[in-house]
Chains A and B, each alone.
Chain A
């Protein structure tokens, strides 16, 4: 982990109708850091993650990623909403792995991985293919390159999804509850891939219920509740000596 800040959120607010999903959330993530966001369902964890790559538009506050203000161009004292193409360009450097995998069902594992590099980055299909095979090998699925998602188990699909995110050579990957939709016996294979990724120095923000992963792999843990960031710090400290009573209650409940 370096001192270079890769993601910075300041006073992020977001509401859906009258429901306040995020209230003044501020967070910093450094390059190479693995940050886990934990908290009860409905606490705004996923919403915050989705704001970072503009799947949700924030109501107020600001988010920087990869050194750029996300979603807006500043001109004098005003922020102008970016165009579809500019937002698409910003998203290239931010990978995302979804709870329900969201692989493209009409494309094979290999085609899923090369789609972005070829169509968006304009890579030569042959080089993209070679790189994709390296990535599929890295997630242990070199032999499934020609399989369609429907022919793969949940764990295998999620590993392809990680390879797809890596295909764009992102500087940051967002994980939105990557193991929540998996059968219990398939969780480990996905967590193993994420461990390797963390060890390789990838910056990761992980919304998760896997306390083992938070404890053993992540550098920092952020606890969210009711749309607010309640506590944030080194994982060992937050998980073993939480300061806020709400964090204490939550950790007690999940460790029971």
Chain B
């Protein structure tokens, strides 16, 4: 029966309205799923039978040098990200301050530090002694640049300052996302500009800012691996030091991969917690 025209009698219509419904079969979906599962299985097999000695990976997973590297990676992530967020908020406020000089300086900052590659910036900071043998304020204090610019300091400045350029754009879009009526309502209860920003606008902007800042924290975890180039002993650097000695290159790269993934996984969970906190007072809009 393929007749779907309007039946003449209401009894026929009633019968049709109560026929069994057979769900559509998604044949295409099943075929594609099967192909992809097969490819993934082949990939896993390749790694299992390939020339990686998995016991060696297990052996170095908790090696003291690797554990030390994890701590240093986390420390650098926190240090560079803190500097990045502090600079980002400062630059964003400068951008919307209404002071033309500050606005211009903020623009130039973003232009330069977002424009130059992060690795290059790290090398510049690390080699700062070549242009400025000493740094300080003449007459007050002075340090030898080589002594001050340790791998930690150079990496923190390099990563943190370029991060500030990106974060300032996130903060700025967060500030702009808050309705102008909120600024006005805050003003009418007698708040000053700074009070308005701190009590009313920033907490609301946070809701918009947390997901992208969370992404940036996660990319910062991975970006810290660049600091291996300037001898900062984070995970990748320490893994390299070990494989230069024992030549188990791929095994140690696997160890490093495992730890980066582990850190990123934990941070993703923390991020969703924070998002829920700042979403208070808004109706859940997790899907469109």
Q: Do A and B come from one complex?
A: yes
Asked if residues A88 and B191 are in contact (CB atoms below 8 Å), the reply is yes
Please tell me if A45 contacts chain B, counting CB pairs below 8 Å: no
Across the interface, which residues of A come within 8 angstroms of B187, CB to CB? 53-55, 88, 91
* Smallest beta-carbon distance A226→chain B, Å: 25
Instruction: Let me know if A53 and B280 touch, CB within 8 A.
Output: no
**Cβ-defined contact, B281 with A88, below 8 A:** no
Q: Select B188's contact among A84, A85, A94, A108, beta carbons within 8 Å.
A: A94
A115 CB within 8 Å of chain B:
yes
Interface of chain B, main secondary structure: helix
A103 interface residue (CB < 8 Å to B): yes
- Residues 112-137 of A, flagged 1 when their CB comes within 8 A of B and 0 if not, give 00011001110000000000000000
Partner of B181, one of A102, A106, A165, A168: A102
Beta-carbon contact of B182 and A53 below 8 Å: no
Asked whether, in the complex, the Cβ of B182 is within 8 Å of the Cβ of A104, the reply is: yes
Chain A contributes a number of interface residues (CB within 8 A of B) equal to: 33
Quick check: A102 and B189 within 8 Å, CB to CB? no
Is B188 within 8 A of A150, CB to CB?
A: no
Q: Is the CB of B280 within 8 A of A88?
A: no
Contact A105 B181 (CB under 8 A): no
Check A104 against B185 for contact (C-beta < 8 Å).
yes
* Known A98-B184, A98-B185, A104-B200; contact A91-B281, beta-carbon cutoff 8 A: no
User: A92 within 8 Å of B by Cβ?
Assistant: yes
Instruction: Using A53-B187, A149-B281, A150-B282 as known contacts, list a sample of 5 further A-B pairs with CB atoms less than 8 Å apart, ordered by residue number in A.
Output: A95-B188, A96-B188, A104-B182, A105-B282, A106-B207
Cβ of A100 under 8 Å from chain B: yes
Give the contacting residue for B204; candidates A106, A115, A121; CB below 8 A. Answer: A106
Cβ of A158 to closest chain B Cβ, rounded Å: 13
Which residues of B, 190-205, contact A by the 8 Å Cβ criterion? 190-193, 195, 199-200, 203-204
Contact residues in A for B283 (Cβ distance below 8 Å): 150
List of 9 A-B pairs having minimum Cβ-Cβ separation, nearest first: A116-B189, A92-B190, A102-B185, A148-B281, A102-B181, A96-B188, A120-B190, A88-B192, A106-B281
B179 within 8 A of A: yes
B185 touches A103 (CB 8 A): yes
A-B contact pairs, 17 of them (CB 8 A): A88-B190, A88-B195, A91-B187, A94-B188, A95-B188, A96-B184, A96-B185, A98-B184, A100-B181, A103-B185, A104-B185, A104-B200, A106-B281, A108-B281, A115-B200, A148-B282, A168-B190
- Tell which of B184, B191, B195, B281 has the most Cβ of chain A within 10 Å: B281
Of the candidates B179, B185, B203, the one having the most CB atoms from chain A within 10 angstroms of its own CB is B185
- Residue of chain B at shortest CB distance from A91: B190
Q: Among the listed A94, A107, A121, A167, which residue makes an inter-chain contact with B281, where contact means beta carbons less than 8 Å apart?
A: A107
Q: Does A138 contact B (CB under 8 A)?
A: no
- Contact status A106-B189, CB under 8 Å: no
Q: Beyond A105-B281, A106-B281, A149-B281, is A116–B203 a contact (Cβ under 8 Å)?
A: no
Report Cα–Cα, A104/B188, bound state, in Å: 13
CA distance A100 to B187 in the complex (A): 15
Chain B residues numbered 152-204 whose CB sits less than 8 Å from any CB in chain A: 179, 181-182, 184-193, 195, 199-200, 203-204
A95 CA to B187 CA, complexed, in Å: 10
When each residue 167-178 of chain A gets 1 if its CB lies under 8 Å from chain B and 0 otherwise, what string results? 110000000000
- Bound together, the chains give a CA A92 to CA B181 distance in angstroms of 17
In the complex, A89 has a CB within 8 A of chain B = yes
A54, A96, A119: which contacts B191 (Cβ < 8 A)?
Answer: A119
Q: Which residue of A lies closest to B203 (CB)?
A: A106
A103 and chain B: residue at smallest CB distance: B185
A119 near B188: Cβ-Cβ < 8 Å: no
Known: A55-B184, A104-B200, A115-B199. A120 touches B281 (CB 8 A): no
Contacts of B203 in A (CB 8 A): 106
Instruction: Tell me the bound Cα distance from A121 to B263 in angstroms.
Output: 46
Cβ of A14 < 8 Å from any Cβ of B?
no
Contact A168 B189 (CB under 8 A): yes
Q: Bound state CA distance, A120 and B192, in angstroms?
A: 9
